[in-house]
Amino acid sequence: MILITGANGQLGECFRQASVQWPALKFVFAGPQDFDISNRAAVRAYFDSSQAEKFKWVINCAAYTAVDKAESEPDKAQKINVLGAKYLAEACAIRDIPFVHFSTDYVYHNRQNTPFLETDPVSPKGVYARTKLAGERVAFRVQPLTMVIRTSWVYSAFGQNFVKAMLRLGRERAELNVVADQIGSPTYAPDLAEAVLNIIQKVETGEVSKESIAGIWHYSNEGVASWYDFAAAIFELENIPCHVRPIATRDYPTPAQRPPFSVLDKHKIKAAFGLEIPHWRESLRRCLANLS
C-alpha cells in the first residue's frame, strides 16, 4: 500500500488520477484534514494506526510552494518543507519504508549554461529554496532510504500554475509581458507521477532493488524553454491571439529570486529505471486537451 501525503495539492491530485491505471498498487491519500505532517505527534499517531501497518511506500507531495509569500512566511515554509519532511522520514525509518520526496530546481542558483547534474553544487536563494534543500537533507539524515526528486516548473489541470494563469490572462488581455531570461524545463505533473509509479512497480516486481532508489534524482520534461517560450507555446496551441512581449527579470521584480538557468540533466533517472520522458510541448498539448 502506498501513502500519498499532500493529496489535495497539484501533484497529489495527479497521483490520485494516475492511481486508477495501476490496479496492482493500492493507495491511501492523506491531506491536512487527515493529519498535520509538521506535527510529530500527529504523524506518529497516524502511522501507529492499524491501516498504516500496511504501508510499503510513502510519497510526500505536501510542500509549501508559494515562492514569493515564503519570504514573509518563513516559519510556515519551514514547518511544511523541513519539519514535515523530517517527521515523515522518521516514521518511514522506524518501519523500513522507502520515502519518496520532491524538491526543486530552485536549489540551483549557479550561473552556468549546461544542464545541472545531481552532483553539482547547490546555492539556494530565498526562503523557499533554502527550506526545500533543508528538507532534503533532514530526510536523508533520518531515513537513508529516501528518494529525492528535484523537479521544475510544475503544472497540470489541477491547482494554480503557470499554464492556467496564462490561459486566463491571455483571454483577458491583448498583450502580456513575460520573462525571457529565466531558462528551464516545464514539468507536466501527471508525467512525474507516472514516472514515480513506474519506478515503484519495477521495485515491486524485482526489476530493480529497493535500495537503488536512494539518493537525489532529476525529473522534468525533455526540452528547454524560457517562461516567454512557454507562454508563447500555450497561446499558439490554444489559438489565443494574445501578443507575448519578452522582458528581462529586472523588469519584473519579485520578493524571491528565481534561478536564471535551472535545466536539469535527467540521464541518471532515465538510465537507472529505463524511463522515457516526453518533450514539454507534447505534454503541454495533453494538458491543454484536458483543460478544454
pLDDT at 251 over 90: yes
Mean pLDDT for all residues in the chain = 96
pTM for the full model? 0.96
175-225 pLDDT per residue, tens: 999 999 999 999 999 999 999 999 999 999 999 999 999 999 999 999 999
| pLDDT on residue 50 | 62
52-100 pLDDT per residue, tens: 678 999 999 999 999 999 999 999 999 999 999 999 999 999 999 999 9
> Catalytic: which of 128, 155, 188, 228?
128
Please report where in the chains the cell 527550506 appears, as a residue: 131
2-155+187-222+263-278 has which CATH code?
3.40.50.720
Please, which residues have CB within 8 angstroms of residue 119's CB and are 6 or more apart in sequence? none
Please report where in the chains the cell 512566511 appears, as a residue: 73
Task: Confirm whether 155 is a catalytic residue.
Answer: no
Does residue 72 contact residue 30 with C-beta atoms inside 8 Å? no
